[in-house]
Structure 1
C-alpha cells in the first residue's frame, strides 16, 4: 500500500497571535485614532482574521483599551526596573527624568495614542481596571528618591510625588508631542539631538533647583 503523506500540523500560538494583534492595533490606532482604525486592516497586518481579533479582545473599543494598557505597562516596567538605588538622590532623579524623556522620543506611537485619548477626554482609560497598576510603580520610584533626598539633606521635604512626577513628564512630553508646531512657529526642531539635549539640561536644572529650594 502506498503511504499517505503526513498532514501538516498547524501549531497554535495564542499568545503570539494576541501580541501581533496588539502591535498591529497600536500602529493603526496611533495613525488613525479609534474612529479611523479598521479592524480588518489590524487583522491583516497581524497576519490573522477579524474573528480572532474579536475572540481575544471582544470589540474594537476593548482592543483600544488593551493597547493603551500594554503601552503604559511596558513604560512602567522599563522605568521601575532602572537601578537607581546606587546613585545619589540628585543623580537618581536626573537619571529617571532623562529615561522618561527618552522613552517619549523613542515611542512616537505612544504620543499619538495619548493625544488621541485626550480627544476622548480619557474616557477609555477611565474604563481600564489595570491602569493604576501601571502608573503606581513609577510614582513609587519618585517617592523613594524624594524620601532618600530629604533624609540626606539634598531635597526639601513635603514634595508631593505625583505632582512632581506629572511635572517631570510634562516637561518632556510637551517638547516631544509639539515638536512639529514648535518647529513651524519658531524654526527650531527639537528632534535634533543638540537642541533636545540643551533643553533637557535646562529642565534638569529647573527640577533640581525646585528640589533644593527651601521656599
Structure 2
C-alpha cells in the first residue's frame, strides 16, 4: 500500500513537472494533453485520472507554482533578524526564486492573458498567499517599532514593488536587453540587479514619510 502511494505521488509529481514546462512554453490554449503524456513515463489516461483533464491539470500547475514561492518565503527568519536585514533578505530571495523559475513568470503572464479565469477557480489559493502578506506585515511592523521604517507604506505596496522588479528583469530580458544592448542574464548583471533591489527597497522604506 505504501509503495503504491509513493508510485502515485511520483506519477503525479512527474505529470506536474512536465505540464509546467509545456504550459509555460505553449500557453493554456496551445498545450495538448497528448504532448504532455508523451513527454512522461505515463499515459494520457493518468492525466484524466489524477487531474480530470487539461483544465484541472493547468489549475494544479498554477497552484504548485504559487506554492513554490510561498514555501521559499518561509526560509526568512523574521523573529531573529533585524527588520532592515529581513526585508533585504526577502527581496533578494524573491529575486533568486524568479531567476530560477522562469516558468513561473510565464505561467503568471499566461494566466493574466486569460484575465485570471483559472486562478479564480483554485480553492485555497488566497489562503496559501496570506502568509506572504503576513510576513511583510510583521517585518514592517517591527521596522516601524524600531523607528527605522516609514509609516505610510504597507505590505501590498512592498510586495508589488518587489514582484514588479523581479518579474520585469526576467520577463523582459530579451526585449529590454536588445533595446539597451545589455545582457540582463549575465552573472555580473544579475548580481548587480539583485543587490540594487535590496538597496531600492531598504532606501524607500527608511526614507522619511511624506
Shared fold by TM > 0.5? yes
Counterpart check, 1:15 vs 2:15: no
Kept in 1: contact 2:59–2:118 (CA 8 A): yes
**Aligned partner of 1:51 among 45, 69, 72:** 45
Counterpart check, 1:40 vs 2:31: no
Counterpart check, 1:150 vs 2:150: no
- Larger deviation, residues 116-125 vs 98-107: 116-125
Kept in 2: contact 1:69–1:130 (CA 8 A): no
Structure 1: which 5+ residue stretches go unaligned? 1-10
Question: 1:105 maps to which residue?
Answer: 99
Query: By how many angstroms is 1:110 displaced?
Result: 1.0
Q: What are the equivalent positions in structure 2 for 1:27-176 lying under 5 Å apart?
A: 27-176=21-170
Structure 2: which 5+ residue stretches go unaligned? none
Q: Which has the larger radius of gyration?
A: 1
Question: 1:3 maps to which residue?
Answer: none
Q: Structure with the greater relative contact order (CA < 8 A, sep ≥ 6): 1 or 2?
A: 2
Query: By how many angstroms is 1:56 displaced?
Result: 0.9
Question: 2:192 maps to which residue?
Answer: 198
Q: Distance in 2 between matches of 1:148 and 1:126?
A: 33
Following TM superposition, the consecutive aligned residue runs of length 4 or more in structure 1 with deviations greater than 4 angstroms are none
Secondary structure of 1:123's aligned partner: coil
TM-score (norm 1): 0.90
**Deviations along 1:84-119, whole A, 9 cap, x unmatched?**
332210011000000001100001111221121121
Query: By how many angstroms is 1:144 displaced?
Result: 0.7
Q: How many residues align?
A: 205
After superposition, the CA RMSD in angstroms is 1.4
TM-score (norm 2): 0.92
